[in-house]
Structure 1
Amino acid sequence: MEFGFAAADEEFRAEARSWLAEHLTGPFAASVGRGGPGSEHEDSAQRRAWERELGRGGWIGIGWDSDAYGNRRATLTQQVVWAEEYARVGAPGRYGHIGENLLAPTLLAYGTQEQRDEFLPPIARGDALWCQGYSEPGAGSDLAGLRTAAVRDGDAYRISGQKVWTSLAHDADWCFVLARTEEGSQGHHGLSFLLVPMDQPGRIEVRPIRQLTGTSEFNEVFFDGARARSAHVVGGEGNGWRVAMGLLGFERGVSTLVQQIGFAEELGGVLREAVAGGAADDPVLRDRLVRQWAELRVMRWNALRTLGGSGSGSGSASASASEKGGSSEKGGGQGDAGAPSVAKLLWGRWHQRLGELAMSVRGAAATVGPSDWSEASPYELDALQRLFLFTRADTIYGGSDEIQRNIIAERVLGLPREARGPR
């Protein structure tokens, strides 16, 4: 696929660059370069204010299939332009990704007009933050084994159960929850997709999970009779698996290219460290650096190939199969059920190797704190140390490598399904 920028895209780039230069000033300037992977705790209040600033500019939801909710709409190439300019200036790590890029396209595809009118404008304004209630203890990559239950109670549901690895749940206003609404159902059957307000004291408890980086982006969430309105079931009762798999498909598409822009920035930091410290003179390390660059180019071409197969020139391109199983009715790489799994296998291990390479480039100095560390100041990780520790999880979260290989084996190669015991 040929991927280039037309004159209209360059005009869009100039507008994006001008807006960022004008607005990423004052109190927001202090948040530049903060809030990325492993540093999600940084400047949380200021970054939430930045979400509202983005909303006022119409920059939230530019990839949606509609511009009726206070957002502007951009073509696929313009979405990439925005991501490039955002990364170029080191704008703050996004706080509203889950609502903007996962829930909103799902509501546009499966929700009622009333649900779209209620939930999309607050997301577009940067007012509402969302988290994802999918994984559970014993039901992570094998999502169909979930046990969280939602029992109908008049015009509402009462939800009981536990979710885990819930990103940003400690700050979220809402959570979309996949729960079992049919008693005695198993596997993909009897599930519903519920929109649940997080402000329910005594009914919802959030417990942070401390990560290797020392931060706590992930959380455990406990539901004890939490309420969700019956009008907030997306796609109808019992259709939760279909909706959930459609949502996971939206994690692919242009977001894959956006992710790679961030990867390129990180690789650039490792390269600068290698040159400054002399590690680039080592032929073995130099070979690893070149390989890392070449593999990133391969990932870009694979993403472009997948997007090219979607036939989508604008809006949200998406994958045809989720990283945790199931299939989406929309999407990039039509007819290629293994495309999302291939992408996950490529970027997960690549990013993990980048973290390892960062430590090799730094050498023994990678094991100690900053040079100005003292007992008077807390021990802090620097950017490359956070990169290494954070990427240890890359081959696990978002669908483990083992699950991705199973999907490719079963759904693409037609090999026998892995034997599974009774649920």
Structure 2
Amino acid sequence: MLILSLDHARKLGLVLLVTFSTLTISGIDGAPSQHLAKRGADIAVSTSASASLELPQPGFFADRQPAASFKAVEFDDDDDDQEQQPDDDEFDPEEEEEEEDGPEAGAVVINKAKQPSTPPKSLPSDPYAHYTYEKPYAPAANSLQPGKKARRTMIIGDVHGSLVGLNGFLKQVKFDAKLDEVILAGDLVAKGPQSLEVVDKARQIQARCVRGNHDDKVLRWKGFLDSKKKGIPSDLVENSEHHIIAKKMSKEQYQYLLSCPLILTVPKELSVKKIPIHVVHAGIDPSDNMSKQLPWVLVNVRNILKDGSPSRKKKKGEGWAQLFNDFHSKRVKQGEPDFLLTYGHDAGRSLNVKKWSIGLDTGCVYGRKLSAYVVETGEVYSVNCPDLGLNSDDD
């Protein structure tokens, strides 16, 4: 069941109905490219950015516009507990976890690395990251032919090793493997108890994906382990959860997770608004064009500081999505969005629907919801996830 507080509903300009609510999302695609304060980066990536990634030039700060309406579909199950979503200023388990990566209980820590808060010029483990920047998206065969049964392309928020949450979602929405397609918005692994089983499930249903920050840490560890080199990079934490997952990961699981690009663009032909839909894990730097985003930003950003620097923390600065929407609302004034940006990563802000962007991480691994945006209809599905016993103390 989708839970929205009254304050959140007012921000979205929604009128809530009890039971099934139908809420309609406008699309998105355009990104600024003027620099506010650019940071250099010596990060090698496999670049295949297409013209569709070139977004309109910036102006940045604009008068705020009310969010577009959208359709939300609630799926009832046996657990009807109404859960209060945290306010933006309250504790964010995801952010706290990122503050310092800790080991499993009783594990011996050889190197304990504090993650950078803003984009670093480079990280010691960069040679083992093996990024794919962007991948072409080819729709499934016959998916665009008229007269066919309606298909769904569902962009799903962070699963975080909650296989039971993912399976429950697919069951509730009546997923049809022959017809429907899933895109996972990153962070398939870590936190939950069945990270590699989630990867196997994604492979089984032929889900597409983008790389999340937790996926990135596991991939860096696996790349380092496979290199057989000595001397653990100082930004990798030995005996951490990411290290343990990497050691257990099969070649097939690694290759699948490695295949997840930083950006995936769904073609406009599939969209209900006939606009491209970009999928990233965390977000973007609103001051730059989509095709020029730093990999660190794409998997880590939450806020933009006063000096224009992207930050993975939320205690200072302003949410990147707000600034991003401010810019595009000013750019097109009262016009319809010409693209949509969907992302996960920010469980503390939960379902975050704006005119040009949709945040889909609704804290499934914490026993809240697993949410998805349906490309062909503009609907948002939200399904209850089981309580895995994780809380702020586990981060």
Q: Which has the higher contact order (CA 8 A, sep 6+)?
A: 2
Instruction: Say yes or no: TM over 0.5.
Output: no
Q: Could you say which structure has the larger radius of gyration?
A: 1
TM-score, structure 2 as length reference: 0.26
TM-score, structure 1 as length reference: 0.25
Between Structure 1 and Structure 2, which shows a larger proportion of helix residues? 1
